[in-house]
Amino acid sequence: MSSAQHLAQIRVQTAGFWCEGYIVVPRPGGYKGRVNDILNSSEQFIALTDVTLHERHQGAEEKPISYDVLLLRKDEIQYVVPLD
């Protein structure tokens, strides 16, 4: 990763799960340097790394699932919370 990028930790909520992971944000402090800019881009998917995924089934007591990389279709996102 170049010095013109940084990792932003986020929490993402969808209809079926919520997860926490990291997204690469280019040009911190500059043009397209915010998580919001990535979410508003024309790309259909976002890539999250070091992801912990929690199912949202009612009454589910399952352990979270870990992924190195998760490609998430932006249409499925209900909300995103920046954690750092």
What pLDDT score was predicted for residue 47? 96
**Rounded to whole angstroms, how far apart are CA atoms 55 and 37?**
27
Longest dimension (CA), the chain: 44
- The model's pLDDT over 17-47, given as tens digits with 9 standing for 90+, comes to 999 999 998 876 666 678 888 999 999 999 9
**Residue 11: pLDDT above 70?**
yes
Fold of 5-82: SH3 type barrels. (2.30.30)
Task: Order across the sheet with 45-55: list the strands.
Answer: 65-73, 45-55, 17-26, 5-14, 77-82
Residue at token pair 């992801």: 51
pLDDT band at 57 (very low <50, low <70, confident <90, very high): confident
Residue-range domain boundaries for the chain: 5-82
> How high is the mean pLDDT of the chain?
88
- Taking the model in full, what pTM does it have? 0.84
